[in-house]
Amino acid sequence: DTAVSQTPKYLVTQMGNDKSIKCEQNLGHDTMYWYKQDSKKFLKIMFSYNNKELIINETVPNRFSPKSPDKAHLNLHINSLELGDSAVYFCASSQGLGFGEQYFGPGTRLTVT
Amino acid sequence: QKEVEQDPGPLSVPEGAIVSLNCTYSNSAFQYFMWYRQYSRKGPELLMYTYSSGNKEDGRFTAQVDKSSKYISLFIRDSQPSDSATYLCAIYTGANSKLTFGKGITLSVRP
Protein backbone atom coordinates (compact mmCIF):
# COMPACT_ATOMS: atom_id res chain seq x y z
CA ASP A 1 0.00 0.00 0.00
CA THR A 2 1.36 3.40 -0.98
CA ALA A 3 1.68 5.66 2.07
CA VAL A 4 1.74 9.02 0.28
CA SER A 5 0.53 9.12 -3.29
CA GLN A 6 0.49 11.93 -5.80
CA THR A 7 -1.20 12.34 -9.15
CA PRO A 8 -0.18 12.91 -11.79
CA LYS A 9 3.41 11.68 -11.77
CA TYR A 10 4.30 13.74 -14.82
CA LEU A 11 2.70 16.94 -16.03
CA VAL A 12 3.69 18.75 -19.21
CA THR A 13 1.80 21.92 -19.97
CA GLN A 14 2.11 25.28 -21.65
CA MET A 15 2.70 28.65 -20.08
CA GLY A 16 -0.44 30.36 -18.94
CA ASN A 17 -2.38 27.17 -18.23
CA ASP A 18 -3.89 26.25 -14.86
CA LYS A 19 -3.14 22.83 -13.38
CA SER A 20 -3.71 20.85 -10.20
CA ILE A 21 -1.71 18.19 -8.39
CA LYS A 22 -3.40 15.88 -5.93
CA CYS A 23 -1.96 14.23 -2.84
CA GLU A 24 -3.36 11.58 -0.55
CA GLN A 25 -1.89 9.87 2.50
CA ASN A 26 -3.18 6.75 4.21
CA LEU A 27 -0.94 6.96 7.28
CA GLY A 28 -3.50 8.68 9.48
CA HIS A 29 -1.24 11.73 9.80
CA ASP A 30 -2.69 15.12 10.60
CA THR A 31 -0.05 17.32 8.94
CA MET A 32 0.66 17.56 5.23
CA TYR A 33 3.16 19.58 3.20
CA TRP A 34 4.02 20.70 -0.28
CA TYR A 35 7.66 21.05 -1.28
CA LYS A 36 9.29 22.22 -4.48
CA GLN A 37 12.56 20.68 -5.65
CA ASP A 38 14.43 22.51 -8.38
CA SER A 39 16.79 21.08 -10.97
CA LYS A 40 19.71 21.39 -8.55
CA LYS A 41 17.92 19.18 -6.01
CA PHE A 42 17.21 22.06 -3.64
CA LEU A 43 14.09 21.12 -1.66
CA LYS A 44 12.08 24.00 -0.28
CA ILE A 45 8.86 23.98 1.69
CA MET A 46 5.91 25.82 0.21
CA PHE A 47 2.96 25.08 2.48
CA SER A 48 1.94 22.95 5.41
CA TYR A 49 -1.48 22.11 6.78
CA ASN A 50 -2.35 20.71 10.17
CA ASN A 51 -5.88 19.33 10.56
CA LYS A 52 -6.89 21.21 7.41
CA GLU A 53 -5.56 24.49 8.81
CA LEU A 54 -2.81 26.38 6.96
CA ILE A 55 0.26 26.55 9.18
CA ILE A 56 3.17 27.41 6.91
CA ASN A 57 2.88 29.63 3.88
CA GLU A 58 6.33 30.42 2.62
CA THR A 59 7.00 33.21 0.15
CA VAL A 60 5.19 31.59 -2.71
CA PRO A 61 3.45 33.46 -5.54
CA ASN A 62 -0.28 33.62 -4.95
CA ARG A 63 -0.74 31.75 -8.21
CA PHE A 64 -0.18 28.71 -6.01
CA SER A 65 -3.17 27.78 -3.89
CA PRO A 66 -3.26 24.72 -1.65
CA LYS A 67 -6.51 23.14 -0.58
CA SER A 68 -7.06 20.53 2.09
CA PRO A 69 -10.54 19.02 1.90
CA ASP A 70 -9.73 16.64 4.76
CA LYS A 71 -6.74 15.48 6.78
CA ALA A 72 -5.81 12.81 4.26
CA HIS A 73 -5.74 15.06 1.20
CA LEU A 74 -3.80 18.15 0.20
CA ASN A 75 -4.08 19.45 -3.33
CA LEU A 76 -2.07 22.14 -5.06
CA HIS A 77 -3.59 24.33 -7.74
CA ILE A 78 -1.36 26.51 -9.88
CA ASN A 79 -2.74 29.34 -12.00
CA SER A 80 -1.08 30.98 -14.99
CA LEU A 81 1.87 28.61 -15.12
CA GLU A 82 5.29 30.10 -15.83
CA LEU A 83 8.52 28.55 -17.11
CA GLY A 84 10.07 28.97 -13.67
CA ASP A 85 7.41 26.71 -12.16
CA SER A 86 9.07 23.71 -13.81
CA ALA A 87 10.27 21.51 -10.97
CA VAL A 88 9.41 18.38 -9.04
CA TYR A 89 6.69 18.93 -6.46
CA PHE A 90 6.62 16.65 -3.45
CA CYS A 91 3.82 16.09 -1.03
CA ALA A 92 4.70 14.87 2.46
CA SER A 93 2.93 14.05 5.68
CA SER A 94 3.81 13.70 9.34
CA GLN A 95 2.10 13.15 12.63
CA GLY A 96 1.73 16.38 14.55
CA LEU A 97 3.31 19.78 14.14
CA GLY A 98 6.37 19.07 16.20
CA PHE A 99 9.47 17.28 15.14
CA GLY A 100 8.64 14.04 13.43
CA GLU A 101 9.57 12.03 10.41
CA GLN A 102 8.06 13.34 7.24
CA TYR A 103 6.97 10.77 4.68
CA PHE A 104 7.31 11.92 1.11
CA GLY A 105 5.32 11.00 -1.95
CA PRO A 106 6.99 10.01 -5.23
CA GLY A 107 6.82 13.54 -6.64
CA THR A 108 5.13 15.20 -9.60
CA ARG A 109 7.49 16.31 -12.33
CA LEU A 110 6.04 19.50 -13.80
CA THR A 111 7.40 20.82 -17.09
CA VAL A 112 6.13 24.13 -18.38
CA THR A 113 6.87 24.83 -22.04
CA GLN B 1 23.76 33.45 3.98
CA LYS B 2 21.44 30.48 3.53
CA GLU B 3 20.14 28.92 6.73
CA VAL B 4 21.61 25.55 5.79
CA GLU B 5 24.62 25.13 3.54
CA GLN B 6 25.66 21.76 2.21
CA ASP B 7 28.98 20.85 0.58
CA PRO B 8 28.52 20.89 -3.19
CA GLY B 9 28.72 17.72 -5.24
CA PRO B 10 28.55 15.48 -7.01
CA LEU B 11 30.73 12.99 -5.21
CA SER B 12 32.04 9.76 -6.73
CA VAL B 13 33.84 7.14 -4.63
CA PRO B 14 34.91 3.52 -5.09
CA GLU B 15 33.04 0.77 -3.30
CA GLY B 16 34.26 0.29 0.24
CA ALA B 17 35.33 3.91 0.72
CA ILE B 18 34.42 5.99 3.76
CA VAL B 19 32.21 8.89 2.75
CA SER B 20 31.85 12.15 4.65
CA LEU B 21 28.93 14.47 3.87
CA ASN B 22 28.77 17.84 5.60
CA CYS B 23 26.41 20.71 6.31
CA THR B 24 26.66 23.96 8.21
CA TYR B 25 23.81 26.00 9.58
CA SER B 26 23.45 29.55 10.79
CA ASN B 27 20.56 29.55 13.28
CA SER B 28 21.50 28.38 16.75
CA ALA B 29 17.78 27.86 17.49
CA PHE B 30 17.78 24.79 15.29
CA GLN B 31 16.95 21.79 17.41
CA TYR B 32 16.81 18.57 15.43
CA PHE B 33 19.18 17.44 12.74
CA MET B 34 18.29 14.93 10.08
CA TRP B 35 19.66 13.24 7.04
CA TYR B 36 17.32 12.26 4.24
CA ARG B 37 18.28 9.97 1.37
CA GLN B 38 16.69 10.36 -2.04
CA TYR B 39 17.06 7.78 -4.76
CA SER B 40 16.69 8.88 -8.35
CA ARG B 41 13.08 9.67 -9.29
CA LYS B 42 11.86 8.98 -5.75
CA GLY B 43 10.85 11.05 -2.75
CA PRO B 44 13.29 11.64 0.12
CA GLU B 45 13.20 9.21 3.05
CA LEU B 46 14.50 9.75 6.53
CA LEU B 47 17.85 8.06 7.12
CA MET B 48 18.88 9.30 10.56
CA TYR B 49 18.16 12.04 13.03
CA THR B 50 19.72 13.43 16.19
CA TYR B 51 19.11 16.35 18.49
CA SER B 52 22.25 16.65 20.55
CA SER B 53 25.90 17.23 19.90
CA GLY B 54 27.86 14.04 19.47
CA ASN B 55 27.64 10.94 17.35
CA LYS B 56 24.77 8.61 16.57
CA GLU B 57 25.46 5.34 14.86
CA ASP B 58 23.17 3.10 12.81
CA GLY B 59 24.91 0.26 11.03
CA ARG B 60 27.32 1.72 8.49
CA PHE B 61 25.98 5.24 9.02
CA THR B 62 27.09 7.74 11.66
CA ALA B 63 25.49 11.14 12.14
CA GLN B 64 27.61 13.72 13.92
CA VAL B 65 26.52 17.10 15.28
CA ASP B 66 28.72 19.88 16.63
CA LYS B 67 26.39 22.59 17.91
CA SER B 68 29.23 24.89 18.93
CA SER B 69 30.46 25.00 15.35
CA LYS B 70 26.96 24.62 13.82
CA TYR B 71 28.25 21.72 11.80
CA ILE B 72 26.64 18.36 10.99
CA SER B 73 28.08 15.40 9.18
CA LEU B 74 27.03 12.01 7.88
CA PHE B 75 29.66 9.30 7.58
CA ILE B 76 29.11 6.17 5.53
CA ARG B 77 31.51 3.30 6.17
CA ASP B 78 32.17 0.54 3.64
CA SER B 79 30.11 2.36 1.04
CA GLN B 80 28.09 0.21 -1.36
CA PRO B 81 26.72 0.90 -4.86
CA SER B 82 23.26 0.80 -3.25
CA ASP B 83 24.26 3.92 -1.30
CA SER B 84 24.29 5.88 -4.56
CA ALA B 85 21.67 8.58 -4.01
CA THR B 86 21.23 12.22 -3.15
CA TYR B 87 21.72 13.00 0.54
CA LEU B 88 19.99 16.00 2.05
CA CYS B 89 20.65 17.40 5.48
CA ALA B 90 17.57 18.85 7.13
CA ILE B 91 17.20 20.87 10.27
CA TYR B 92 14.07 21.43 12.30
CA THR B 93 13.18 24.33 14.51
CA GLY B 94 10.11 24.33 16.67
CA ALA B 95 9.75 28.10 16.26
CA ASN B 96 8.03 27.75 12.93
CA SER B 97 7.55 23.98 12.79
CA LYS B 98 9.35 23.50 9.54
CA LEU B 99 12.20 21.54 8.10
CA THR B 100 14.92 23.49 6.32
CA PHE B 101 16.86 21.42 3.83
CA GLY B 102 20.36 21.74 2.53
CA LYS B 103 20.91 21.72 -1.19
CA GLY B 104 21.63 17.99 -1.37
CA ILE B 105 24.71 16.18 -2.57
CA THR B 106 24.59 13.37 -5.10
CA LEU B 107 26.79 10.42 -4.20
CA SER B 108 27.83 7.75 -6.65
CA VAL B 109 29.56 4.60 -5.37
CA ARG B 110 31.44 2.81 -8.14
CA PRO B 111 31.58 -1.02 -8.00
CA distances from B68 to B26, B52, B110 (A): 11, 11, 35
In sequence order, which residues have a C-beta less than 8 Å from that of residue A41 and are 6 or more positions away?
Answer: B38, B86, B88, B103, B104, B106
Task: Answer yes or no: do B44 and A104 touch at CB < 8 A.
Answer: yes
The predicted model gives B91-105 an average pLDDT of 82
* CB-CB neighbors (< 8 A) of A4 in chain B: 43
What percentage of chain A exceeds 90 in pLDDT? 77
**B41-67 mean pLDDT:** 92
For chain A, the residue count is 113
What is the chain A residue with the closest CA to B91? A99
pLDDT at A79: 96
State what percent of residues in chain B have pLDDT above 90. 68
**pLDDT, average across residues A70-99:** 92
Q: What is the pLDDT of residues A29-81, one digit of tens each?
A: 999 999 999 988 889 999 999 888 888 888 789 999 999 999 999 999 999 99
Lowest-pLDDT range, A20-24, A98-102, B11-15, B53-57? A98-102
Nearest residue of chain A to residue B106 (CA atoms): A41
DSSP B97: T
What's the pLDDT band for A113 if we cut at 50, 70, 90? very high
Query: In terms of CA atoms, which chain A residue is nearest residue B46?
Result: A101
Confidence of residue A98 (pLDDT cuts 50, 70, 90): low
Q: Taking CB atoms and an 8 Å cut-off, how many pairs form between chains A and B?
A: 52
Cα–Cα nearest to A103, from B74, B24, B46? B46
Give the one of A41, A42, A45 whose C-beta lies nearest to B99's C-beta: A45
Partners of B96 on chain A (C-beta within 8 Å) are 56
Task: Write out pLDDT tens, residues B65-85.
Answer: 998 899 999 999 999 999 999
Rounded CA-CA distance B99/B89 in Å is 10
Q: Is B84 on the interface with A (CB under 8 A)?
A: no
Q: Do B43 and A48 touch (CB under 8 A)?
A: no
Is A45 in Cβ contact with B98 (below 8 Å)? Answer: yes
